[in-house]
Amino acid sequence: MSQKANTNPLFDIEHLPAFSEITHEHVTPAVDFVLDRNRQRVDELEAVAESATWDNFVQPLEDINEDLSKTWSPVSHLNAVKDSEALRREYESCLPKLSAYHADLGQNVKLYLGFKRIKESAEFESLQKAQKKIIDNALRDFRLTGVELPETKKKRFKEIQERLSVLNNQFDRNVLDATNAWHLLITDSEDLRGLPASVLEMAQQLAKQNDQQGWRFTLDVPSYLPFMMYAENRALRKSMYEAYVTRASERGPDAGKYDNTDKITEILSLRYEMARLLDFQSYAELSLVPKMAESPQKVLDFLLDLSKRAKSVAFQELEQLKDFSAKQLNIDKIEAWDLVYCSEKLKRSLFDFSEEDVRPYFPVDRVLGGMFEVVGRLYGLVIEPVHGVDVWDPQVQFYEIKDSKGVVRGQFYVDLYVRPHKRGGAWMDEFVSRKSDRKCIQTPVAYLTCNFSIPVGDKPALLTHEEVVTLFHEFGHGLHHMLTKVDYVGVSGINGVAWDAVELPSQFMENWCWEVEALNLVGGHYETGAKLPDDLLQKMKRAKNFQSGLQMLRQLEFALFDMHLHHGFDPGGSKSVQALLNEVRRETAVIFPPEYNRFQNSFSHIFAGGYAAGYYSYKWAEVLSADAFSLFEERGIFDQKTGRSFLRNILETGGSVEPLQAFVSFRGREPKVDALLRQSGLEA
């Protein structure tokens, strides 16, 4: 080991990353070192492929790939939560190297034959279920990365993979830069009418942090959404809306500066070419091979069926909104920048409820502690903070999960607040997964990241109920990763789980955000500690399915657009991406945005986030989660026997069991859509 490598905090991380010591200068040397070492080890594995066993072949390959993941995970995470020009350059320079390495592995014939040998040997039958699944997955993935292609096609397939890794990152970077590039500074208090005090306090604090006088509003959701909901100034709402929906496009205030239009076309073209190289008719067909869904048509049928069920309800909701807006708000024609504002006013009128009403009852520390208590009651676990852990921002916290015997099951970082140079949205990612060897069990470690409103002054951060739901959602992903009992990384936690089942544990956790017993743990007034008043809770629950038809249609629009983009659409043809989106809207939507809306240019889920031909999985997972939770509705939301069954059959099995089999083991039957329709108020 070189002295340089020995002093690099990214090299051979034994426990947790030393985030405060990592600089951009460490990235390339560490990645190059590990890639070189891994390639040497792959050469050694090729030499034993003809006599491959689990111990001399598969496990060593798992280990070297985990070594690379341990080096790259902190870099990738810092790029998402603490972006800088210097780090970005190093990150982007490494992407083609990593893509080339994984492409070489995927097309390595000797490794492929080594896996085939084990599959066909007597040893295979003696392996554990998880080991067999890793081998089966590997053989599938070898074929899906072109191992059986002739050399010329292999070369082209590899070129496509490398180019896509660059394009995906560039797409995401453009969305981040476009979001950060624009803000609205208000200096006249008259322009702030309608905005709640909490929103104004945060906007004033943002202005001060940027050496400005007045109130600063940005395109980050915690700033953008409240402005659109409450600001009475219609012209300013229009400015905010236009800046938001034209991000990273050829339209809007930064027209062309961060434009993703050409990248979308190139990404779609390369995905289609990749699929055709493997003799699939579309990228969607290729994408669905490792998923639960049988075919693109089955997905489309599922989405269209839900669309038909929701559309009549959505039409009624829209007519109600139009009538209310005309009579009560003097808005005869609802424009796109009026929708959220008018809907919030209608919800207040119908239910005497607003998200701002409950915000004082959800201080962030109380919410976290309550969420941990919910998990404790369900699964018999204890979650405690750990102090003194090296983090990337002073507001990041670190926790560990222990079982009833005091054994650590998982550890996780929590990064909750919006800030500059941090990617928008909310997500869970992993640092390491559980594995077991002769020496010890490796504790899984996760990153839990959100973008909530920042604490203002001496007040704690106060969450809306929607933000509470988001936190529960992401922690559900984290529990799926951390509570696994699988001892092999390839199918440990979320690894190896079919993409259209991976949202089950996250959407499942959201259900407790609506139950009185759970909310009494999660909620408490930030000044007095008083529980959420029963009348306010009832208002919130009555408002739960407000505009559920419109909301469902919006998600179905995204999912149908995604599936049609990747099945039956010719990216090089005469029809544009925008024209396809318009067709989907005519078929599905009841509300149509302005011509300049460029939603697709910031649709990072499918162009940068792994959901290509898979966005439908959110809706499919809602079916699974609603049906799974219905068992708790029958037996009690904290029924320990049911909770332990979900832990054992879903969370602990990771990717070692097919998701339908895991669901049936828990629920006793295959999933039904009824519970979702009931929860959404769409039964009729």
672 in a structural domain: no
**188 shares its domain with 144:** no
For residue 378, the domain's CATH number is 1.10.1370.40
521 in a structural domain: yes
User: Looking at 204, 229, 245, which one is the last position of a domain?
Assistant: 245
**28 shares its domain with 142:** yes
Nearest to 559 by CA among 605, 597, 592, 595: 605
Which DSSP letter does residue 500 get?
Answer: T
What is the identity of the amino acid at 629? F
Cα 381 to chain centroid distance, Å, stands at 25
376 in a structural domain: yes
22 in a structural domain: yes
Q: Of all helices (H) and strands (E), which one includes residue 22?
A: none
**144 shares its domain with 188:** no
Nearest to 608 by CA among 397, 336, 406, 423: 423
**423 shares its domain with 538:** yes
What is the domain count for the chain?
3
User: Looking at 129, 148, 167, which one is the last position of a domain?
Assistant: 148
**399 shares its domain with 523:** yes
Q: What pLDDT sits at residue 507?
A: 96
**202 shares its domain with 134:** no
**203 shares its domain with 126:** no
Tell me the C-alpha distance between 195 and 226, whole Å. Answer: 8
**110 shares its domain with 198:** no
Q: Which residues contact 170 (CB under 8 A, 6 or more apart)?
A: 263
Q: What pLDDT sits at residue 3?
A: 40
For residue 135, the domain's CATH number is 1.20.1050.40
474 is catalytic: yes
669 in a structural domain: no
**369 shares its domain with 518:** yes
636 in a structural domain: no
Side-chain half-sphere CA neighbours of 257 within 13 A: 15
Phi-psi region of 581 (alpha: psi -120 to 50; beta: other; left: phi over 0): alpha
pLDDT averaged over 10-residue windows placed end to end, the chain, 684 residues: 68 93 97 97 97 97 96 98 96 96 97 98 97 98 97 97 96 96 97 96 95 97 96 98 98 97 98 98 97 95 95 96 98 97 98 95 97 98 98 98 96 96 95 90 97 91 96 98 97 95 96 96 96 95 96 97 97 95 95 97 96 96 95 97 98 96 97 92 77
Strand pairing category for 397-402 and 382-385: antiparallel
Q: What pLDDT sits at residue 1?
A: 46
**99 shares its domain with 240:** no
Q: What pLDDT sits at residue 684?
A: 58
Cα 659 to chain centroid distance, Å, stands at 19
212 in a structural domain: yes
Cα 598 to chain centroid distance, Å, stands at 21
Give the Å distances, CA to CA, from 496 to 309, 429, 474, 501. 33, 14, 19, 11
Tell me the C-alpha distance between 557 and 593, whole Å. Answer: 13
Contact of 134 with 62, CB cutoff 8 Å: yes
| Residue ranges making up the domain that contains 232 | 182-245
What is the identity of the amino acid at 298? K
Nearest to 309 by CA among 659, 623, 639, 653: 623
**52 shares its domain with 114:** yes
587 in a structural domain: no
User: Looking at 128, 148, 168, which one is the last position of a domain?
Assistant: 148
Cα 55 to chain centroid distance, Å, stands at 34
Task: Determine which one of 62, 344, 474, 515 is catalytic.
Answer: 474
Side-chain half-sphere CA neighbours of 509 within 13 A: 28
**416 shares its domain with 532:** yes
